[in-house]
Structure 1
């Protein structure tokens, strides 16, 4: 699936807080932001039904 690239301007303190949270959950900062956005869309009832789940945090398991 192609990913949309979006430039994003954040307050440095907000970015640092997100980066720390991402590190705590073994995610990249980008993945953490996407997780947060998806969570808010789901709560608001605006997440499209054809959107898959967010992958679990951490490195994907190697395929044998």
Structure 2
């Protein structure tokens, strides 16, 4: 299984709050997890905090190595 560059952790939310996040996520065609990340980034931006951009994962097949005869 590939490792994720994102930090995984358990988050306990009030069920009504999570339901609201799920509705918002569905309206914006996102997962609840992605919606929570967007909401956190927006909240941080309003406070003047800019987290470093994570290095994006390289997609596709790795290049062939030319060290074979």
TM-score between the two structures when normalised by the length of structure 2: 0.68
Unaligned 5+ segments in structure 1 are 53-64
Quick check: which has more Rg, 1 or 2? 2
Tell me which stretches of 4 or more aligned residues in structure 1 moved more than 3 Å.
none
Unaligned 5+ segments in structure 2 are 55-69
RMSD: 1.4
Structure 1 counterpart of 2:18: 15
Q: Quick one: higher RCO (CA 8 Å, sep 6+), 1 or 2?
A: 1
How many pairs are equivalent? 51
CA displacement at 1:47 relative to structure 2: 1.9
Verify: 1:31 aligned to 2:34, yes or no: yes
